[in-house]
Amino acid sequence: MSVYARMMLVLTAVGLFSGLSLVYMARYAEPHIARHKQEAIREAIERVLPGVARVEEVQRGELVLYRGTDASGKPVGYAFITQGPGYQGTIQLMVGVSPDLTKLTGMEVLESVETPGLGARITELEFREQFQGLKASPGIGYVKAGRKPAPSEITAITGATISSRSVVDIVNRGLEEVRRIIKAGRLDCKTEATP
């Protein structure tokens, strides 16, 4: 057998082994990744809807809406996943809103690839806490650092105004969709879960 034929045989065997290994690892990891994402969503719901004891999931198109109640069955609000473009990529958020949709109860960043040290600061507690109790009607806004925010505004991160504005835009788009769905009265629950 020639050297060329041996090289081709070895390269083919290595390529086949590598490909099969990658397929096996992807299939092995897939359920673990899905379970981890569900746990992250459950934890985010608990953070954006304080006092939630029971959650009902409703899916309308791309929007997933979680209706939360306390232990006595009283509504504590709605949580929803919304996403949009940031400075460097897609930002995915979990947002909580009161049952009457007039104020935010919290915001968590589920996924983000913003610039480390600047836009990535949207994941910091100091930034996220600004969304708790924020007036959500008709929408939220932002101001630059140094100015006093109104009851429906947050203070943008210095040096990361684009990321701050993106978060505000994503939250507002999600709120509009939730209002549209609730106003249409289409809240038949798909599944129920306890956080």
Two tokens, residue 46: 């608990």
Cα 154 from Cα 72, distance rounded (Å): 33
pLDDT per residue over 62-97, tens digit each?
Answer: 778 899 999 898 999 999 999 999 888 899 999 999
pLDDT of residue 183: 81
pLDDT of residue 107: 95
Give the global pTM.
Answer: 0.79
Please state, as a whole number, how many other Cβ atoms lie within 10 Å of the Cβ of residue 86. 27
Find out whether the peptide bond into 138 is cis, omega within 30 degrees of 0: yes
pLDDT of residue 190: 53
Cα 53 from Cα 35, distance rounded (Å): 20
pLDDT of residue 186: 56
Burial readout 142-180 (b: 16 or more C-beta within 10 A, e: otherwise): beeeeeebeebbbbbbeebbbbbebbbbbbbebbebbee
Residues of the chain with confidence (pLDDT) below 70: 186-195
